[in-house]
Chain A
Amino acid sequence: MKISVRDVGAAKVVEVDGDVDLGTSPDLRRTLFDALPTVRTLALNLGAIRYIDSSGIATLIEVLKHAQQLGNAFVLFGLSPAVLEVFRLTHVIRVFPVFGTEQEALGTS
């Protein structure tokens, strides 16, 4: 799994490429928790994730809760079909703010 973070105005966009599972989700968690307090909006691009399991979903739920405590926004965009299926299967699709594109996620479209 590869993770990169870039600044887009006052927001940060995190890009993830690869599989998010029990072995890799701690790295994703660390990156998101480090970035979250530094911006008002943290956006996660899920378009290049080939696989995500319950540990990955649990990580995203943790980050969302922390964002709510901080009063920051944590948004998702570009869900691949594989990710979308897991979100639907676990019924968490309605828990997260989900957008189609980065522009929509950051409100710049």
Chain B
Amino acid sequence: MEETARRLRIKFSVPSDPRYLGVVRGAIGSLAAVIGWDESECRAIVLAVDEALTNVIRHAYHCRKDGLMELECRETADGLEIALLDNGDAPDRSKICARELDCEQAGGLGTHIIKSVMDRVSYEESPEGNRFVASKYLRKST
């Protein structure tokens, strides 16, 4: 009989208030370490998830603190998947771009970080709201 592994899944309902970001960072760091990434990689994953939340606070909720962010972090067979749902303004796809690395512009840094750290990133609009999904694989195939 095939054995199905039970894996960790954490769900957060986070107000769009920056003071809660530290709580999520602490949990994500611990989860990434348990899955098997080293200290440096854990810090990068924490940063990427934090940047995704920060993008929602800034661009979907325009820094309002009464919005809701539903974050689900799921251990998968090959790593970690995070899904972030919000009910704020939909992202302008033409503006979802990483910054040019050679310029000194501040905008787009967060998106650049997310795309650099995570192996797979997608955005979609659903009946429930804006949905951002990102995956990180434990062993990245080259």
**Residue contact B57 to A22, C-beta cutoff 8 Å:** yes
The reply to whether the CB of A95 lies closer than 8 angstroms to some CB of chain B is yes
Chain B interfacial residues counted at CB < 8 A: 28
B50 close to A89 (CB less than 8 A): no
The B-contacting residues of A in range 8-48, CB under 8 angstroms, are: 19, 21-24
Neighbour of A95 across the interface among B19, B50, B104, B110, CB < 8 A: B104
B104: chain A residues at CB < 8 Å are: 61, 64-65, 92, 95
Chain A residues with CB below 8 A from B17, complex form: 23
Q: A51-B25, A54-B110, A85-B40 are in contact. Are A21 and B18 (CB under 8 A)?
A: yes
Cβ–Cβ < 8 Å partners of A53 in chain B: 47, 50-51, 54, 110
Given known pairs A53-B51, A91-B101, the reply for A23 and B106 (CB within 8 Å) is no
- Tell me if B116 is interfacial: C-beta within 8 Å of chain A: yes
Quick one: which of B17, B40, B50, B109 has the most chain A CB within 10 A? B109
Residues of B within 8 A of A90 (CB): 109, 112-113
Query: CA of A24 to CA of B17 in the docked complex: distance in angstroms?
Result: 12
What is the interface of chain A, defined by CB distance below 8 A to chain B? Answer: 19, 21-24, 51, 53-55, 57-58, 61-62, 64-65, 81-82, 85-86, 89-92, 95
